[in-house]
C-alpha cells in the first residue's frame, strides 16, 4: 500500500458539553417523590404477600364450609378366589363370609343399604377399625371409603373386609393414613 502525503485528515470532536458537571446535577423534587412512592408501594406489596402466604391454614377459622368430594371413577377390584376360613385375617372377615346371603341354593344380591350395614357392622367389630373415622358410601354395589385411619395395616384390613362382603362390585378407597407425630 502506498501512502499519499496529500491525504487530509478530518477530526471531529465529540463529548459532553463543557458547562455541565455531572456530580452537581440536581434532581427535581417531583422525581424524588415519585421514586419514593414507587419504592414504598413495592415494599408494601412485598410485605403483604409475605404476610398472606406465611400464615398457616386453620380450618376452624375458615369461612367456607368443608365439602367432601367423591371422585366418579372407582377403583375396580377383580374378584379373587374365596379364601379358606383359616386364611381370613380377622374375626370380622370370617363373620362377613358367614353372613353372605345365600338361601336355598340361589344367590341373593344384597342392596346398597344391606352392604353399607354389613360394612359398618364389620368395622365396628374389628378392633383396629372400630374407632376410625371412616364414612362409607355405597352406590350400585360400589363402596367408597372416605376418612382416615391410623396405619396402612388398618387401611388394608378395611379393604379385605369389604372384599369379603357379598354384592360388592368395586372399592373406591379414599382413606388417608394419619401421620403420628412424636409427642
Residue 85 cell numbers, joined:
376360613
Strand-strand pairing, 106-107 and 142-149: unpaired
**What's the CATH architecture for 85-177?**
2-Layer Sandwich (3.30)
- Residues 6+ away with beta carbon under 8 Å from 175: 134, 145, 146, 147, 148, 149, 155, 158
- The widest CA-to-CA distance across the chain, in whole angstroms, is 128
> Model confidence over 125-166: pLDDT tens digits?
988 888 888 889 999 889 999 988 888 888 889 999 999 888
In the prediction, which pLDDT does 25 show? Answer: 58
In the prediction, which pLDDT does 50 show? Answer: 86
In the prediction, which pLDDT does 10 show? Answer: 76
Domain spans, the chain: 22-59, 85-177
Query: From CA 138, how far away is CA 135, in angstroms rounded?
Result: 10
pTM: 0.41
Query: From CA 33, how far away is CA 117, in angstroms rounded?
Result: 73
Q: Phi first, then psi: what are they for 133, rounded to 5°?
A: -90, 85
> Model confidence over 45-95: pLDDT tens digits?
999 988 888 767 666 666 665 556 655 655 666 655 555 544 545 555 555
The DSSP bridge partners found for residue 137 are 144
- Residue of 128, 96, 93 lying closest to 110 (CA atoms): 96
Q: Cell 345365600 appears where?
A: 102
Query: From CA 165, how far away is CA 99, in angstroms rounded?
Result: 8
- Residues 6+ away with beta carbon under 8 Å from 159: 77, 171, 173
Query: What single DSSP character describes residue 183?
Result: -
pLDDT at 103 exceeding the cut of 50 = no
In the prediction, which pLDDT does 96 show? Answer: 56
Amino acid at each position: 500500500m502506498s501512502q499519499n502525503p496529500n491525504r487530509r485528515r478530518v477530526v471531529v470532536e465529540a463529548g459532553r458539553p463543557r458547562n455541565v458537571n455531572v456530580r452537581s446535577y440536581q434532581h427535581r423534587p417531583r422525581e424524588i417523590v415519585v421514586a419514593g412512592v414507587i419504592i414504598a408501594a413495592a415494599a408494601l406489596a412485598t410485605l403483604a404477600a409475605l404476610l398472606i402466604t406465611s400464615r398457616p391454614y386453620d380450618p376452624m377459622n375458615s369461612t367456607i364450609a368443608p365439602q367432601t368430594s367423591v371422585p366418579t371413577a372407582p377403583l375396580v377390584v377383580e374378584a379373587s378366589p374365596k379364601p379358606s376360613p383359616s386364611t381370613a385375617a380377622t374375626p370380622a372377615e370370617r363373620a362377613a363370609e358367614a353372613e353372605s346371603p345365600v338361601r336355598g341354593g340361589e344367590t341373593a344380591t344384597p342392596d346398597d343399604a344391606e352392604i353399607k350395614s354389613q360394612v359398618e357392622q364389620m368395622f365396628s367389630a374389628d378392633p383396629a377399625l372400630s374407632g376410625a373415622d371412616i364414612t362409607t358410601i355405597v352406590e350400585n354395589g360400589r363402596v367408597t371409603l372416605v376418612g382416615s385411619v391410623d396405619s396402612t395395616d388398618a387401611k388394608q384390613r378395611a379393604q379385605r373386609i369389604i372384599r369379603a362382603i357379598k354384592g360388592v362390585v368395586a372399592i373406591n378407597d379414599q382413606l388417608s393414613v394419619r401421620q403420628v407425630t412424636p409427642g
